[in-house]
Amino acid sequence: MQLRSQQDLDHSMERLLSLDDRLQNVRDACLPGPIALRQREKGLAGLLAIVLAQQVSVASARAIWGRFSEAFPDCDVDVIAGTSDEDLRALSLSRPKVRTVRAICTALQDGFDLAALVEMPGDEAHARLCSLHGVGPWTADIYLLFCLGHRDIFPAGDLALQVAVGKGLGLADKPDAKSVARIASDRWTPERSAAAHLFWAYYHALKAGRDGVL
């Protein structure tokens, strides 16, 4: 099952709350209204937008992606691959991100199939994405969750989720990525994507309007 619509997420959220009764208070803190489904464009454009947003502020990420998408409106892999490093750097891409963009484009030209990831089990799809140079666990999680709608993904390395899980579960200290991953795996499988949406909404409520991710 994938989360393709708001109704899909609503049903997944109901199942999640039945798995862990501690989450009802977290859900209540996000009322009124449903927990909104987050969706992004799939394919190369979606993956590159996530890559370019890494380790920069939300405002900077939007500005960088705006310049990039204006330069490459069709996000054509061959056009991007044929662009010089200097021209990519002129779009405010750091040298490491230029290398990652090039590596992803080269992989796609060599036959890496982003579309096939939607049919793979989450762990397998995650491993395939992480095999790309410059694509780490967080990037893979966000792509699988937001772009492909995988049902059972929890980006444990996301700092906003770590804060929200710590607060929502009443933990004494902010849990690290390993601890959050263990909690999610033990208590929220196979509805971890709904849990991620829930705790991002909870973080938003805690921070009075600040989103944890774009």
Contacts of 109 (CB under 8 A, 6+ apart): 77, 78, 81
Question: How far is residue 193's CA from residue 58's CA, in Å, rounded to a whole number?
Answer: 22
Q: Which domains does the chain have, with CATH numbers?
A: 6-37+152-206 (1.10.1670.40), 43-147 (1.10.340.30)
144-154 pLDDT, tens digit each? 999 999 999 99
Q: Dihedral (C-alpha) 35, 41, 42, 46: value to the nearest 10 degrees?
A: -110
DSSP 21: T
Q: Is 2 helix (H, G, I), strand (E, B) or coil?
A: strand
Rounded Cα–Cα distance for residues 84 and 37 (Å): 37
pLDDT beyond 70 at 35? yes
SS3 per-residue string spanning 72-111: CCCCCHHHHHCCCHHHHHCCCCCHHHHHHHHHHHHHHHCC
pLDDT at 211: 52
Size of the chain, expressed as the number of residues it contains: 214
| pTM beyond 0.85, yes or no | yes
Handedness of CA 25, 57, 156, 11 (dihedral sign): positive
Chain segment 65-79, per-residue pLDDT in tens: 999 999 999 999 999
Identify whether the C-beta of residue 137 lies closer than 8 Å to the C-beta of residue 157: yes
Containing H/E element for 23?
helix 23-29
Average pLDDT score, the chain: 94
Q: At residue 210, does pLDDT exceed 60?
A: no
Residue in the structure block whose two tokens are 């977290």: 26
